[in-house]
Chain A
Amino acid sequence: NAGVTQTPKFRILKIGQSMTLQCAQDMNHNYMYWYRQDPGMGLKLIYYSVGAGITDKGEVPNGYNVSRSTTEDFPLRLELAAPSQTSVYFCASTIHRDSTQYFGPGTRLTVL
């Protein structure tokens, strides 16, 4: 049981490039979340999903897109990378809306 996994662990992008951050969970959780954490700050919610085919915006969605075609996977897409998107990105999942959130190890992204 791997829990929540994220790839890659680190990535450097040039301004204007695009990439997809991968997130997968093997706990059959319905709810999945993407957060970003800027240096010295708490986490901010980007997007979330309550099940396959259903996604919605969080607090800071601009510049990102998500999809949820399966229960296990919840990829986060950056279309035109900007320096303001330099951050650590965490994916999380939970089985019910009121249950504990389980977090992945994070992806550290730098946009130069």
Chain B
Amino acid sequence: DAKTTQPNSMESNEEEPVHLPCNHSTISGTDYIHWYRQLPSQGPEYVIHGLTSNVNNRMASLAIAEDRKSSTLILHRATLRDAAVYYCILRRFISGSARQLTFGSGTQLTVLP
């Protein structure tokens, strides 16, 4: 199964951009790249996802390498509220009728005031 590799932890200063990397060298053509984050003592929440092209939404941007073997989640201005564990996930079929989110151990982002 394709899996992702992320740094265990990263630090950022408040109001500065943050680039969170993810390697997925065994990604297949039908795998979507999803990012979720988990704030302390809460369930994961969706951040962004993409297949081949770069994506932007109100929370973040997702930059996907041309060969799709890596991606980067970009938070344009980190706030203290962005401190969380960020998961890079490949979403693939587990049967003909559902897609599984396969979570790794994620990156713990610390935002310094």
Contact = CB atoms under 8 A, between A and B. Distances in A.
Interface of A: 4, 31, 35, 40-45, 48, 50, 56, 58-59, 90, 92, 97-98, 100-106
A95 B51 CA distance: 20
* Closest 10 pairs between A and B when the two form their complex, measured CB to CB: A42-B103, A103-B43, A43-B103, A100-B46, A50-B97, A90-B43, A42-B104, A103-B44, A97-B99, A42-B105
B45 A103 contact: yes
Interface size of B as a range: 20 to 34
A100 B99 CA distance: 11
B43 A42 contact: no
Contact of A106 (B43, B94, B103): B43
A42 B87 contact: yes
Majority DSSP secondary structure for residues of B touching A:
strand
Interface of B: 32, 36, 41-46, 49, 87, 91, 94-95, 97-106
B103 A58 contact: no
Nearest to A42: B103
